[in-house]
Amino acid sequence: MKLQKILSYISLLCLSGVSVLFVGAQNPSTAQTSPAPEPGGRPHSLVWDAMEKTYYAEFEETVATYTFWVTNTSRAPVLITAVTPACSCTIADNPQPWKLAPGEVGELKASMNFAGQIGEKEKTMAIDSTGGRRQVLTLKVNIPHDDNEERRARNMAAAAKDRQAVLKGDCAACHVEPLKGLKGEDLFVAGCNICHDPPNNAKRAQVVPDLKTLAFPTDKAYWKKIIADGKEGTLMPGFATAHGGPLTDEEIESLAEYAVKAFPFDPANVKKTN
């Protein structure tokens, strides 16, 4: 068994050996970013200009864009059969079907919606092709924190006057637009965590409760109700269309399904808050 495997690797090496040397000499600048060789030492036919790119966002931006360049370094055509982002927040825009002739350079554009998030985030994108095993590209984004206390105070005052304000007008750019087309966890991150789980802000925790430490047991019906109707007399808005909110019954259902699993009740929380 083992010997057979080794022999087949050796024959692969022999087959590709010529083109490896040829490519190395022809295109030395891309050689350093080429991924680890295939098992058996055979290099991947596709060489990317980078396996990882970082987008530095400005405050109030919500979409990061990326361009990756890929070269078919082999002597045979390569078919890219699938480009699969790991998250529905990431969209790949590539030719379909995508065939690269020997030596051809292709362009893969991608975008990531990071609205409502702060800090360093990263998502991956898997590339399946006939050029070798699956390759993974990493898209990173660096999102500045909103340090503008004046703007935050203004937003808080608007929400205090009308808890639905956050789902309307100018507020919608960050609190509603990014939710479109999302479901379950992705929808929760964009629509709920923006208030409930902003990183490194203890001050905010006094206003917006941490959903991981709720002091009472919850079920799906609880989540559906609080998401749909919010909480009267507080900053927690009602997301249902009945309250002028943006979410359909189906979307609310998907959030509740995620929430019952993500926030199981821990009796220890009751003692902590009493």
Query: Using CA atoms, how far apart are residues 46 and 129, in angstroms rounded to an integer?
Result: 9
- Which residues 6+ apart lie within 8 Å of 270 measured at CB? 215, 216
Nearer to ligand HEC, 110 or 159 (CB): 159
- Which residues 6+ apart lie within 8 Å of 112 measured at CB? 55, 63, 64, 66, 87, 89, 90, 91, 123, 139, 141
Nearer to ligand HEC, 133 or 231 (CB): 231
CA distance to 41, 92, 108, 142, 229, per residue, from 62 (Å) = 41, 16, 20, 11, 27
208 is an interface residue for ligand HEC by CB under 6 A? yes
SS3 82: strand
* Least distance CB 102 / ligand HEC (angstroms): 47
214 close to 263: Cβ distance less than 8 angstroms: yes
Position among 235, 260, 262, 270 found at the interface with ligand HEC (CB under 6 A): 235
Binding track, positions 22-51, relative to ligand HEC; x by CB under 6 A: ------------------------------
108 is an interface residue for ligand HEC by CB under 6 A? no
Interface size with ligand HEC, residues (CB under 6 A) = 40
Q: Which residues pair with 136 in a beta bridge?
A: 126
209 is an interface residue for ligand HEC by CB under 6 A? yes
The interface region with ligand HEC, picked from 49-57, 68-76, 89-97, 224-232 by CB under 6 A, is: 224-232
Please tell me what DSSP assigns to residue 36: P
Nearer to ligand HEC, 5 or 145 (CB): 145
173 is an interface residue for ligand HEC by CB under 6 A? yes
Query: Using CA atoms, how far apart are residues 178 and 62, in angstroms rounded to an integer?
Result: 8
190 is an interface residue for ligand HEC by CB under 6 A? no
- Which residues 6+ apart lie within 8 Å of 27 measured at CB? 47, 71, 73
Nearer to ligand HEC, 87 or 260 (CB): 260
Kindly list the residues in this chain that would bind ligand HEC in the complex (CB under 6 A).
Answer: 60, 116, 118, 145-146, 152, 155-156, 158-159, 165-166, 170-171, 173-175, 191-192, 194-196, 198, 201, 204, 207-209, 211, 214, 226-227, 231, 234-237, 239, 255, 259
